[in-house]
Structure 1
Amino acid sequence: MGLIVVASCGMTVTANIATIMQSSAEPFSFAAAGEFLNRADDLARLEDWWGGRDRNALALYGRRRVGKSWLFRAFADGKPALVLVAERRAEGAQLSRFAARLEPLLGFRPELPDVPALIASLYALAERERMLVVIDEFPYLLPSRAERRDEVLTAIQAIMEERDGSKLQLVLCGSHIGQMTTLLADSSPLRGRLTPLAIEPLRFADAQTFAGELTARERIERYAVTGGMSLYLDELARGSGSLRARVCARVLDHRGPLFNDPREILEEDLRQPGIYFSLLEELSARARTLGDLAAALGKRTSDLGPYLETLREMQLVERLAPVSAGRETRDHRYRIGDQFLRFWFRFVFDVQEDLRTGLRPADLYDGEIAPLLAEHVAPVFEQLCREWVRQQLGDRASRVGAWWGNALHELRRSGQRQREEIDVVGLRGGAVTVVGECKWTNAALSTKVLSELERFKLPALAQAGVASTADGPAIMLFSRAGFRPALVEHATRRSDLRLVGVDELVSDLLATARPAA
C-alpha cells in the first residue's frame, strides 16, 4: 500500500505513504472509564473484532442516548486510538478541523478536500502501526442527495479495497439508524466492507446495575420511566433519591437536563416534527391502531403510514400483532418503544410552557403523574412477565407474546363483550402451551381474574383458531399486590396454575443479568 490514488467526485486523492513521517499514536484515555457500567457483551464483541482477522470497518449504530459514545470510548481506553466527532456543519469546516487533528500524527497537515481524502489519510496513518480510529456520527459527513452520496461512498469503497495494506481498525458510528442501515444495504457501495454492530437498549436485568438498594416494585417503576437508555438510567436511576425527586429535578424543572431532551433529539432528526409529535402524544397513553390514530389526528390512514414507518425505522415506535397472527395480518397496533419518550410525551410535552411560567414540578408530579403512574407502568410490567415466561418456560413455549381478538360470537351479539385480550400467550408448534394475566394494581388478585380467563378469554382464543394442547395450557397469574387467600388456596389444588409475585419475578429476571463490564 505504498501509494493510494483514488479518483472521487471529480478530484484525485493521492497519499504517498512512504514519505509520511508518522509518530506513534498516544494511548487513548477515557476519563470516565471508572464510571462505565454494563455492555460486557458489546465490549467483548468489539475486542473480538480488534483482536481478530476481520479487516472490515465496523458500523456501530444505535439510538441517541443508548450509550454508544461511552461504549466506544471505554473500548478505546488504553489503545492507540483517535476519536473524530462529526457535527452538523459545513463539510469544509469539519474536514479542516480533522486535518488539524491528524497533523501531529502524520507530521504534516493533510489536504482533505472531501471525505474520501479523509478516509485515505486514515488508512495511510496506520500503514506502519496498528491504530483504532472512530468517526462518530459518520452520516453527518455524507451529502444529503442520494446521487452525490453514492459517489462519495463509491470512492470510499475503492479506498477500502486496499485495506489489507494498512493496520487501521476503523469504526464508523451513527445515531440515525436508517442512514446507518442504508450503508449496510445490498445496494450500498460499502456492502461487504462493513461489519455491523447494533447497540440495543439495556434489558431490565442489566439496567439494574445503575440502581441502588430498591424494592422490586421500585425497580420496575424506574425502568418503566427510563427504559434501557443509558443516559436516562444515569439521570433517574443511579444512586439514592426517590423517583419523584429525580423526575421533579431532572425532567419537570425547566432547567433540568431532560426537560427538553426528547424534543431536541426529534427536531434534529425529523422534518415536519409537528406531525410526529402528535403521533407520539397519541401513543403515549396506550397502544393504538392506525385507524384510531387517523381519527384522533383527523388524517387519512394513508397519510400517516409514512410517518409511522419513519418512527419505526428510528426504533421509536413498534408495530405489534397478536402472537398467533400470520404475516399477512392487518390487526396491528402501534406503541412507543422508548419508555422515557412515552413518559415525556404523556406527562411533560403538553405542559412545558406551564412549567416554564411557574407550575411547580412537585405539584405536577403529585397531581397528574402519581395518580397515573401505575397505568404507565402496567405495559412494562406485562413485557417483563412475558420475558419471565421466555426465561422460565422456554422449553414449553418457543413464541411468547400478547393476544387480542373478538369475544365469543354470542357475547358480541348480546353486547356483553366485544373484544378479549390475554397479556401472555406462549405457543409451541402453533398450539397454546402457556397463558397468563398481569395486574399492576393496588388490589390483590382474586379468583375473578382466573374465572374471566377460563370462561371468556381462552374460548375466544380457541374461536380464533388457536388451539391449546390436549392437557390444556399452564396458567400464570402475575401480580404487584399479591393474591387473595381464596386464589392462593385454589392454586394449591391445581398443578396447572402458578402465582408469581413481583418479588419472585424480579429475582428471577435479575438472575439473567450479564456480568458488568
Structure 2
Amino acid sequence: MRKPADMFDRDYEWTALERFVADEQPGATLGVVSGRRRQGKTFLLEAICAAAGGFYFGATEATDAESLRRVSVALTAHLRPASPFHFHGWAEVIDTLLGLGVERPVPVVIDEFPYLAKANPELPSIIQEALRPLREQRTASRTRLLLCGSALSFMGRILSGSAPLRGRAGLELLVRPLDYRLAAEFWGITDPRLALQVNAIVGGTPAYRREFARGDTPDGPDDFDDWVVRTVMNPETPLFREPRYLLAEEPELRDTALYLSVLAAVADGNATRGGIAGYLERKAPDIAHPITVLEDVGLLHRDADVFRDNRSTYRIAEPLIRFHHAIMRPVWDQLERPGSADRVWRASRRRFASNVLGPHFEQLCREWILHHADPALLEELPAKVGHGVVHDAATRTSHEIDVAVIGVADGGKPPLLAIGEAKWNDTMGAGHLDRLAHVRDVIARNGRYDTSRTKLLCFSGAGFNHKAAAAESDQVVLVDLPMLYG
C-alpha cells in the first residue's frame, strides 16, 4: 500500500497499520489506535482505508440512536445494498462490519470510539462477544477492525485489567507527536536555535503548522518574536485558545479550575508534589487525584529521580499548554485586547527563557541521549535516562543533575554511564566540568553505582569557552545545538 505523498513521516505508524490490515490469516482481528488530538490519526486511518478499499466511520458526540442512524447511512453509501440499512443495535452493526471481510482482509475503522462508548457503555462488551474465538461470523471474516480515540484515559483502559476487550487486540498503536528533529524538518526550519525555540512552544503536533498556523513559520531567527506575536499570541488565530480547548475536550477533567491550577503550578516551576500543593495552598494528599488524572490524559508527565526511586518531579507534556500557563494565562485579560500581544511578549521573554526554554532544552538533551546519540558515545545502550538529585553526606549539600544515564546492571552495581548539565543561555566553561567531576566523586563515595566509566556531558545552547573546548576528550563530551539536531 502506498503511503500518501502529502503525509509527512509516519513511516513507522503506516508500516504497522499496513502489516495489520494486510494480514491474510483467517479470522477477524481487532486493533486499537490512540493518541492526543491533532496528531494526524484520522489522516492515517482514512488513508489506510482508501489504500485497501476499507470502510471508515467517524463518530460524533451524539445519542446512541443518532449514531446508529449515522452508521446505517454510512454503510448504505459504502455497500449500496438493494435496500438501505436501518440498524436497531450495535450487534447488527458489528456483524455487518465483519461481513465486509469475508472475501479478503478489509480495514474497518471506527474513529472517536469513546463517543460511542459514552452513549452506549455496553459497546465494548458487544464487540467482545462478536469477536468470540469460535463464533462463525468471526472465523469466516478477515475484517481488521480498528478502534480509534483521542481520550487517552479511556483508550488506556480499553485493553487493561478486566476490560471486556482485554486480550482481544492484535494491534495497539499510539500515534505520538513528532520528535524535535522531525518537527524541525516538518516546519521547514534549518537553524537549530530557532527550531528549538519554536518546538518549545508548539512541540511536534502536525496540525499546529498546517491548519492552526496556516503554514506561517518564522522567516529566520530575527522573525521569531514577530511570529510569536502574530501566530501564537494573536486572538485571531486558532493557536491562541487551543490550550483551553485541549482541556475542555478531555472528558475526565470535570473540575476544570483545579486542573488549570495544577498545570499553572508546574508551569511556575513547582515540579514536586509538595511544591504543587504549596502553590495551591492544599495538603499533598488533596492533589493526588488531579495529578493522576492529568497523567492519565497525557497532559502531565512524571519523571522519577534516577538516584531516588521514591522521589519524582512533574512536567507538562504538551509544550503549547506549558507556554499558555507560563506566559499567556497570567495576563489573559490583556492579551484579549487587540494590539496588546507585542507589549506582553516583550515583557515576558525573560520568563519564557527560564520557565519554558530552559526546562524544554533539558528534556531534549535527555531525548537526544535516549534516541539520537551515537551508541558508541556511551559504549552501551542506556537502561535509564533522566535527572536526579545527588546528596553529599559529608557537606550536607545536594547537587541537581540535569542528565543522568544509567546502564544495565550485569551482576554488580549498575553502571553510571554519564552525568550531564544543560544550560540554554550560558556559555559553559571549566567550572561546569569541575562541578560534574565533583558530583561524580560524590556518587562514587556513596557506593551505589559503578562510576569507573562515567562520562561528563555538557549541553549548551550558547556554546563553550576555550577552556571547556580544550578539556574535551573521550571522557568529556560537549554537545551544542548543531550536534543536538544532528
| TM-score, scaled to structure 1 | 0.82
C-alpha spacing 1:364/1:281, structure 2 compared with 1 (3 Å): same
- Equivalent position of 1:514 in the other structure: none
C-alpha spacing 1:476/1:447, structure 2 compared with 1 (3 Å): same
The one-character-per-residue Cα deviations of 1:206-234 (angstroms, maximum 9, x if unpaired) are 22331224211112222222222222344
Distance 2:379 2:87 in 1: 57
After TM superposition, the structure 1 stretch with the greater mean CA deviation from structure 2, 172-181 or 197-206, is: 197-206
Give the match's secondary structure for 1:108: coil
Distance 1:301 1:187 in 2: 30
The one-letter code of the counterpart of 2:125 is: T
Which of 56, 72, 80 is the equivalent residue of 2:53? 80
The one-character-per-residue Cα deviations of 1:96-139 (angstroms, maximum 9, x if unpaired) are 12211222323322222233332222223444565332111011
Distance 2:178 2:357 in 1: 17
Taking the TM superposition and a 5 Å limit, the aligned residue runs for 1:99-498 are 99-104=72-77, 105=79, 106-128=81-103, 130-143=105-118, 149=121, 151-161=122-132, 162-194=137-169, 195-234=171-210, 235=212, 239=217, 241=219, 242-269=223-250, 270-286=253-269, 288-325=271-308, 329-358=309-338, 360-369=340-349, 372-373=352-353, 375-390=355-370, 391-392=373-374, 393-405=377-389, 407-412=391-396, 418-428=397-407, 429=409, 430-441=414-425, 443-455=426-438, 457-462=439-444, 464-470=446-452, 472-491=453-472, 495-498=474-477
The one-letter code of the counterpart of 1:300 is: K
Distance 2:458 2:384 in 1: 15
The answer to whether the 8 Å contact 1:401/1:423 transfers is no
The answer to whether the 8 Å contact 2:378/2:417 transfers is no
The answer to whether the 8 Å contact 2:262/2:276 transfers is yes
C-alpha spacing 1:64/1:238, structure 2 compared with 1 (3 Å): same
Give the match's secondary structure for 1:83: strand
Deviation at 1:73, TM superposition (A): 2.2
C-alpha spacing 1:408/1:185, structure 2 compared with 1 (3 Å): closer
- Equivalent position of 1:59 in the other structure: 32
The one-character-per-residue Cα deviations of 1:255-307 (angstroms, maximum 9, x if unpaired) are 21111112112112121111111111111233511111111112221121111
% same residue: 26
Distance 1:121 1:482 in 2: 62
The answer to whether the 8 Å contact 2:116/2:123 transfers is no
Deviation at 1:369, TM superposition (A): 3.4
The one-letter code of the counterpart of 1:283 is: V
C-alpha spacing 1:100/1:433, structure 2 compared with 1 (3 Å): closer
Deviation at 1:47, TM superposition (A): 0.6
In the alignment of these two chains, the number of paired residues is 461
- Equivalent position of 1:22 in the other structure: none
The answer to whether the 8 Å contact 1:397/1:427 transfers is no
The answer to whether the 8 Å contact 1:439/1:479 transfers is yes
Distance 2:239 2:274 in 1: 32
1:96 aligns with 2:41: no
Give the match's secondary structure for 2:32: strand
- Equivalent position of 1:14 in the other structure: none
The one-letter code of the counterpart of 2:383 is: R
C-alpha spacing 1:155/1:488, structure 2 compared with 1 (3 Å): closer
Deviation at 1:187, TM superposition (A): 1.1
C-alpha spacing 1:372/1:330, structure 2 compared with 1 (3 Å): same
C-alpha spacing 1:122/1:474, structure 2 compared with 1 (3 Å): same
The one-letter code of the counterpart of 2:273 is: L
The one-character-per-residue Cα deviations of 1:41-68 (angstroms, maximum 9, x if unpaired) are 1001111111114631211111112221
Give the match's secondary structure for 2:305: coil
C-alpha spacing 1:87/1:324, structure 2 compared with 1 (3 Å): same
After TM superposition, the structure 1 stretch with the greater mean CA deviation from structure 2, 312-321 or 461-470, is: 461-470
The one-letter code of the counterpart of 1:135 is: I
Give the match's secondary structure for 2:52: coil
Give the match's secondary structure for 1:142: helix
Give the match's secondary structure for 2:158: helix
Deviation at 1:431, TM superposition (A): 2.3
Deviation at 1:359, TM superposition (A): 5.0
Distance 1:452 1:45 in 2: 46
The answer to whether the 8 Å contact 2:444/2:451 transfers is no
Give the match's secondary structure for 1:154: helix
Which of 41, 49, 55 is the equivalent residue of 2:20? 49
C-alpha spacing 1:280/1:109, structure 2 compared with 1 (3 Å): same
Deviation at 1:411, TM superposition (A): 3.3
Taking the TM superposition and a 5 Å limit, the aligned residue runs for 1:493-512 are 495-507=474-486
Deviation at 1:36, TM superposition (A): 1.9
Distance 1:365 1:173 in 2: 38
C-alpha spacing 1:287/1:79, structure 2 compared with 1 (3 Å): farther
| TM-score, scaled to structure 2 | 0.87
Q: Which runs of 5+ in 1 are unaligned?
A: 1-26, 413-417, 508-517
The one-letter code of the counterpart of 2:299 is: L
- Equivalent position of 1:70 in the other structure: 43
The one-letter code of the counterpart of 2:400 is: E
Give the match's secondary structure for 2:405: strand
